[in-house]
Amino acid sequence: MATIFDNYAVPLKVRGEDFVVSVFDIATQIDYERIRAYTYRENAVVVICFSVCDWESFNSVPLLWMPEVRRYTKKTRSIILVGTKTDQRQGNASEVSKEEGQRLAKKIGADCYLECSARKQEGLEEIFQHIVFAGLKFKKSKNFAKFLFNRFRRSHIMHLQNKTRG
């Protein structure tokens, strides 16, 4: 969990090309909505995570996080829904199933639903590959020129940068 704001650079290779994905992990307290708003506007991909062992976390996606994302972004942003802590699943009814996660992803208009366990390092590579593909899709869209101009005008760097092309 983020303290207030943590930023991680994640280098990875996708289809033989090197990329660096900047991950912004921001505190979920209501006091930090303005910081989150800035990052929503400045990124091509929004990843919303919830714990598969916590129904409150799951229910906050459509009730809190999606309304906030929609308030601060245009529909052109890719959304990836991620169920976390899969290593803690015990197989009982008090947990969110993969099917329930998939249904929620469809309901909120996410590009996809993925699951992972950070503790066991499972599913992480797939998530980052999806982030890269979604970012490249956004880059190729007609909105990218305006997005890129606005970013450089504010002296920001691209959060999704292809290292081989500079």
What are 14-67's pLDDT values in tens digits? 778 887 777 766 656 666 677 777 777 777 888 899 999 999 999 999 998 899
Nearest to 101 by CA among 82, 88, 123: 82
User: H or E element: which one contains 63?
Assistant: none
Q: Which amino acid is at 120?
A: K
Nearest to 79 by CA among 123, 130, 9, 24: 130
CA distance linking residue 144 with residue 105, whole number of Å = 24
The CA distances from residue 102 to 63, 108, 111, 143, in Å, are 17, 10, 10, 28
Structure-block tokens of residue 161: 């940068």
Contact 70, 131 (CB under 8 A): no
| pLDDT (mean) for 85-114 | 94
pLDDT at 92 over 50: yes
pLDDT at 115 over 90: yes
Q: What pLDDT is attached to residue 160?
A: 41
Contact 79, 102 (CB under 8 A): no
Domain boundaries, the chain: 5-162
CA distance linking residue 127 with residue 131, whole number of Å = 6
CATH fold for the domain made of 5-162: Rossmann fold (3.40.50)
Return the residue matching tokens 């991680």: 8
Structure-block tokens of residue 130: 């999806």
Which of the pair, 165 or 3, is modelled with greater confidence?
Answer: 3
